[in-house]
Amino acid sequence: MRVPPTTLPAEPTHARRFGKARTAQASAVLEDYAELIADLLASEGEARPTDIARRLGVSHATAIKAISRLKREGLATARPYRGVFLTEAGERLAARVRERHRLVVDLLVALGVPAEAAEQDAEGIEHHVSDATLAAFSRFLKAR
């Protein structure tokens, strides 16, 4: 049957949007680990694989593999039985991610989302917020 193609030749626009979302997803896990490690280092003085695993709700084996990936990407180092540390790059990433997380939560709360729902949604949303959107959130919070 295949009706005449009215308008759908290459559609690079939609494809690019989905591709961006996929890329963002790929970095989401590492971002969460970096943010969490920074938090634990700040609040506890150290970031042990076991604590990281418990906070993320995954097995310690899963956490250790992710930490290996962080090391491979040059974001973290680890001393056995001494915990995980962030490299310069890891700290920069963590700082950026923490700030972004805070901004997303603040915006949701400002729009009337209950605190716990805001925290929960932000945990996923944060990884898909571009700089342009982040700037818009910031403007809104400042202006209201």
Partner DNA sequence: TGATATTTGTAGCCTAGGCTACATTTTTCG
Partner DNA sequence: CGAAAAATGTAGCCTAGGCTACAAATATCA
Measured from the CB atom, the residue of 121 and 123 that comes closer to Mn ion is 123
Q: Does 127 bind a copy of itself (CB under 8 A)?
A: yes
Rounded to a whole number of angstroms, the minimum distance from the CB of residue 112 to DNA is 30
Least Cα distance to 104 among 133, 71, 82 occurs for 133
Q: Does 83 bind DNA (CB under 7 A)?
A: yes
Q: Quick one: which segment of 8-16, 32-40, 73-81, 105-113 binds Mn ion (CB under 5 A)?
A: 32-40
Which 12-51 positions form the footprint of a copy of itself (CB under 8 A)? 12, 14-21, 24-25, 28, 32, 44-46, 51
Query: Rounded distance, CA 46 to CA 37, Å?
Result: 8
DSSP calls for 43-95: HHS---HHHHHHHHTS-HHHHHHHHHHHHHTTSEEEETTTEEEE-HHHHHHHH
Query: Rounded distance, CA 19 to CA 27, Å?
Result: 13
Q: Quick one: which segment of 26-34, 100-108, 118-126, 136-144 binds DNA (CB under 7 A)?
A: 26-34
27 Cβ partners below 8 Å, 6+ apart? 127
Q: Quick one: which segment of 27-35, 114-122, 123-131, 135-143 binds DNA (CB under 7 A)?
A: 27-35
Q: Does 135 bind DNA (CB under 7 A)?
A: no
